[in-house]
Amino acid sequence: MKNNKIFPGVHLGKNYFMGDYTILGIPPKGAKDGEFETIIGENSYIRSHTAIYAGNKIGNNFQTGHHVMIREFNEIGDNVSIGTNSVIEHHIKMGNNVRIHSNTFIPEFSILKDRVWIGPNVVLTNVYHPLCPKAKECLKGPIIYKNAKIGANSTILPDIKIGENSLIGAGSVVVKDVPPNVVVAGNPAKIMKKIEDLRCPYDLISRPY
């Protein structure tokens, strides 16, 4: 492992792997080295060029792709995977078994419940009017509920709620709340069908969900 840096206050669980040029426990702007505790659970697999800021609480079996950036003060559960080139901002809550694919952006104050699946190139947003003088006072990321799946290249607007078990089709722009157990797609995204109506196109299984 070459040129890794672990700041004071970082607690790594046993059986971890760190790739080259990894940085853990970076103090946020204005903070001192080690001022905020950083916890990463057992069996983590942190690939090269990952940068994790201080104040994160991360569970067991955590893994990153290459060039992942995770800002400060996030709560991340067990069995979470974050793909290559993804950016996780600060004050985010993630449950267990969350899968985030490559090149995704998760903004501050987003909430991802258990077993959420985020496809590649997905962008969540958290402010309706960038550069508004009051923008910092109303930052609200989406809430993605249990088992929801967001297809590749989708965009989710601020303060949107994606219901349990719902599926967002690839390339969708979600501008309003999505109820549980439905499939939505398009720009703007609209309900297309119920989850129970989905069928495997290859006849490998009766229902995918």
The residues that bridge with 193 in the sheet, in sequence order, are: 183
Catalytic, out of 49, 66, 90, 129: 129
Measured CA distances, 83 to 62, 87, 93, 96, 147 (Å):
11, 9, 17, 16, 18
Burial 32-66 (b: 16+ CB within 10 A, else e): eeeebebebbebbebbbbbbbbbbbebbbbbbbbb
Question: Which tokens hold the place of 50?
Answer: 């990952």
Contacts of 117 (CB under 8 A, 6+ apart): 98, 99, 148, 149, 150
Return d(Cα 177, Cα 112) in angstroms, integer.
Answer: 15
- Whose tokens are 């129970």? That residue is 196
Measured CA distances, 166 to 80, 88, 144, 202 (Å):
20, 22, 9, 21
11 is catalytic: no
Q: Which residue numbers are catalytic?
A: 129
